[in-house]
Structure 1
Amino acid sequence: MDFGRLPDVRGISFTLPPDHPDTTTLLVRSGPAPAPAGIWVGCPTWINKAWLGSWYPLGLREDQQLNYYGRQFNSLEVNVTHYRIPDAEMVRRWRAAVPAHFRFCPKVPQSISHDRELYNADDLTNSFCRALENLGEQLGMAFLQMGPNFAPPQLTRLERYLLDWPAHLPLAVELRHPAWYHDPVLLAETGALLEALGKTWVISDVAGRRDVLHQRLTTPVAFIRFNGHALHRSDYLRADAWAERLAAWLNEGLREVYFFVHQRDVNDAPTWAQYFLQRLSKLTSRELPAPQLVVQPVQGKLF
């Protein structure tokens, strides 16, 4: 994820802002969360040659990597759907490769979000939603990432699109244009709209755009995209802060967490996730499986 990435993070304040005032209200109104709440953590890709010999066994073929990814993580931000709508056979292979508890979070195709900006996109949306339905219970949440030019004057178009979105398919919405966040009245209006429509507002934690760290939950589900910086010391401080914030939200009634880890070097993502999940496990008193380095067989050693 290059959005908000900076070449140098010195001087950046990574302190998490306080919750938006409406977040606590939303969690109280949602009622008690089922026990235990779902905690889903993953990366944006599963075919990672750089993981061979560390997070994947040496020699693991590409067609076997999703299966092993499903042993290391319990969720996946599916970026491939941003570029094409998967057919039923592709979805079937995905589902067969991972455990039943695994959750896929496919990104809405860019032909809908960026090219058409939600205009005249009914046919494409219907095709994409049919693909989502093929995921069955392994569908976590789709997410609609709007382009950088999609601005507040298009709020009515967004509302119309979300009203038409099938209610049985969970959807998160990511808005990137700075104008969504610089006017407190507009931010409150946008949050109220997403809450009324039952859509989750994506929270992004990136160095160069601290405004998108709005901390406004619009459903009792948190969908967070984290952009790290080569395991810089700040990455670990941010892991601590997020573990504390999520533990607090879970205590207040949050029902699900989707947390996706982005690092420029893909080798850094499992390392960070391992640390983050260990911290969250301690704070929630829950056993949360974390990625583990693979013990590689040593050939030719008899004793």
Structure 2
Amino acid sequence: MEFGRITSEELEKVDFTLPPDRQETTRLLASAKSAKPEIFVGCAKWGRKDWVGKIYPKGTKEAEFLNHYAKHFNCIELNATFYRMPTVEQTQGWRSKVGSDFKFCPKFTDQITHIKRLKDVKEATDRFLEGISGFKENLGPIFLMPHPGMAPKTQDTIEAFIQSLPKDIKLFVEFRHPEWFSNETAFQSAFSMLEKNKAGAVITDASGRRDCVHMRLTTPEAFIRFVGNGLHPSDYTRIDDWVQRIKQWMTQGIERVYFFMHQHEELHSPELSKYLIEQLNNHCGLSIPVPKFVEQDMELFGSAAPPKKRAPRKKAS
């Protein structure tokens, strides 16, 4: 994942401290009060050949990757549907390889969001929704990322698209144009629009775009996209902070959290996911199954535990 990528020199200057929750987030969670929130942790893809011998048994064929992925994680941020329109046959096939509690979180295809920018897309949207219907009860929230060039002036177009969707689907929206965050009026308007339409707001934690860590929930659910830096010490301190924020949200009534692990090079996503799950279990009283690595000697691939010496946080210059 290239979004928010910065140089190693710039990385040392980033202040990764999570901002406080927006007042609207606190208000919204106060009205939710879920007794037992659900926590989902996953990656962005399962088709990683470099995970063979790591979390996939040695000799695993590509056709079996999803079967093994679903033994370690309970959800997937399905970016494959962004690049290719899904079919019912395809999603039924994927569904047959996972358990009943597993959730697919498909991303709207680029034909809809990037090529046509949400205009005149009824036919394509109908095909997309028909395609993902094969997931049935394994369908999680759908992920909508408007083209990064869509600025606040396109809010009416985005809202019209959201309102055109069936009311029974769960939707999360990720804004990327900087003006959504730099202009407070635009921010308030856009996120109030999402809340009014019962659409969730994606929080993307990337090194080079700290504005996207907006901490404004618009539903009593969170959809977090975490972008690490190859198991840099700051990856672990950032995860520690997220664990504490999720713990706080659990006491406030959050109903569901989806946490998706990304790396600029996805090789090490399993290690950081394992660390996240262990910390969630330890600090939040959860019992999420921990990914199991093929090799007991983790030094072969890099330990899931943080380095002994962690990098101190530094304020951005």
TM-score scaled by length of structure 1 = 0.95
Q: Distance in 2 between matches of 1:34 and 1:68?
A: 31
What is the alpha-carbon root mean square deviation over aligned residues?
A: 1.1
Q: Distance in 1 between matches of 2:262 and 2:194?
A: 25
Q: Distance in 1 between matches of 2:290 and 2:184?
A: 38
CA deviation string 1:79-108 (max 9, x = no partner)? 110012211111111111011100000000
Structure 1 residue aligned with 2:307? none
Question: 1:155 aligns to what SS in structure 2?
Answer: helix
Cα 1:34/1:91, change in 2 over 3 Å: farther
Q: Distance in 2 between matches of 1:7 and 1:128?
A: 37
Q: Give the CA deviation at 1:265.
A: 2.8
Q: Distance in 2 between matches of 1:265 and 1:189?
A: 35
Q: Give the CA deviation at 1:189.
A: 1.4
What amino acid does structure 2 have at the position aligned with 1:127? Answer: R
Question: 1:185 aligns to what SS in structure 2?
Answer: helix
Q: How many residues align?
A: 294
CA deviation string 1:10-57 (max 9, x = no partner)? 10111101111100111112x32142x111111111111101111110
Cα 1:34/1:134, change in 2 over 3 Å: farther
Question: 1:3 aligns to what SS in structure 2?
Answer: coil
Structure 2 residue aligned with 1:73? 73
Question: 1:135 aligns to what SS in structure 2?
Answer: helix
Structure 2 residue aligned with 1:143? 143
Structure 1 segments, 4+ long, off by >6 Å, are none
1:84 aligns with 2:90: no
1:115 aligns with 2:124: no
Q: Give the CA deviation at 1:252.
A: 0.7
Q: Which runs of 5+ in 2 are unaligned?
A: 297-317
Question: 2:189 aligns to what SS in structure 1?
Answer: helix
Structure 2 residue aligned with 1:27? 29
TM-score scaled by length of structure 2 = 0.91
Q: Distance in 2 between matches of 1:154 and 1:87?
A: 30
What aligned pairs does 1:63-212 form with structure 2 within 5 A after superposition? Answer: 63-212=63-212
Q: Give the CA deviation at 1:267.
A: 2.6
Q: Distance in 2 between matches of 1:80 and 1:98?
A: 17
Structure 1 residue aligned with 2:229? 229
Q: Give the CA deviation at 1:266.
A: 2.3
What amino acid does structure 2 have at the position aligned with 1:110? Answer: D
Q: Which runs of 5+ in 1 are unaligned?
A: 297-303
Q: Give the CA deviation at 1:295.
A: 4.7
Q: Distance in 2 between matches of 1:34 and 1:122?
A: 39
CA deviation string 1:273-296 (max 9, x = no partner)? 111111111121111112111259
